[in-house]
Amino acid sequence: MDTTTISDYTFQFFSKNGEIPCELPVRFILPDDSSRYSYTCSLDDIYSAGFTGPYVKPSVDYPHKIFWSSVTLQYILFDLRTINIYTEEPILVDSQNPKIIVRPLDPETANKYKLELNSDLLIKTEIAKNKINIQSPNPSGWLAVANPYLNQLDVIASGIPYDQPWTVLLPTPPQKDRNYYQEIELESDIWFANAKYDYEINGWRIYLGKVDNVPVEFKYPPDWVPSGSL
């Protein structure tokens, strides 16, 4: 690699004295007390000022975390899914053979997590309950689905605060919402209205299908008056 070419290193990452890599200062001092600008310097200038690099900083999101080894001058990736992040924390033991150990969180931090998670759980429970509308009149079949779900949410809310709130999961919401049951009821009302009209006015018999190839006739409500009986 050519280290003498003048270039712009403004947005590249370098380390000094083993510290976590970061962008160069806009202006840095060389051993002879002269200075260079990060946007017009060479790698030789950067190295002579005591920096190492450039390094490519990994872009990671949860569940991963990166550590920087000031001894080996490298990034080390850790998977947080291997620990309980609410009771444990990973610590880098930096050496020529760097390793990550897991230790318990200090009590103050662990208790803070508990409070935050219990608070979040209560908020999520209330939000879930508010999404369920059981104000009368309710469409047929809706309460049979909604009430058990609401009861489960109430049980969870009544148990707060939990000692291990990260283990508590909200129940799965009903697969069909109130509007679905409303539409089914409306379709049923329309069907009944049409069937009643056909039975009373047109004199039709209403069949629901067949069982063992035998037609199954609809059981007419007592208040339906068949055509011609008036």
Measure CA 189 to chain center: 40
Q: Residue 222 — very low, low, confident or very high, per pLDDT cuts 50/70/90?
A: confident
pLDDT digit string, tens, across residues 157-171: 999 999 999 999 999
Q: Residue 136 — very low, low, confident or very high, per pLDDT cuts 50/70/90?
A: confident
pLDDT of residue 30: 92
C-alpha span between 125 and 156 (Å, rounded): 8
Do 203 and 228 touch, CB atoms closer than 8 A? yes
C-alpha span between 44 and 6 (Å, rounded): 9
CB atoms within 10 A of CB 38: 20
Beta strands in the chain (DSSP E): 13-16, 22-23, 27-29, 35-37, 51-55, 64-69, 74-79, 88-93, 99-104, 207-211, 214-217
Q: What is the mean pLDDT of residues 220-230?
A: 70
pLDDT digit string, tens, across residues 173-210: 998 887 777 776 666 666 667 777 777 777 788 776 77
* DSSP-assigned letter for residue 10: T
Q: Which residue has the higher pLDDT, 148 or 223?
A: 148
- Bridge partner list, 51: 16
pLDDT of residue 196: 73
Starting at the edge strand that comes first in sequence, how are the strands of the sheet with 13-16 ordered?
A: 22-23, 13-16, 51-55
pLDDT of residue 189: 63
Q: What is the mean pLDDT of residues 20-29?
A: 94
**Domains of the chain: which residue ranges?**
1-57, 59-105, 108-175, 180-217
pLDDT of residue 135: 86
58-67, 172-181, 219-228: least confidently modelled range: 219-228
C-alpha span between 188 and 195 (Å, rounded): 10
Do 220 and 229 touch, CB atoms closer than 8 A? no
Do 166 and 86 touch, CB atoms closer than 8 A? yes
pLDDT of residue 35: 92
pLDDT digit string, tens, across residues 74-88: 999 999 999 999 999
C-alpha span between 10 and 41 (Å, rounded): 10
Task: Name the average pLDDT for the chain.
Answer: 88
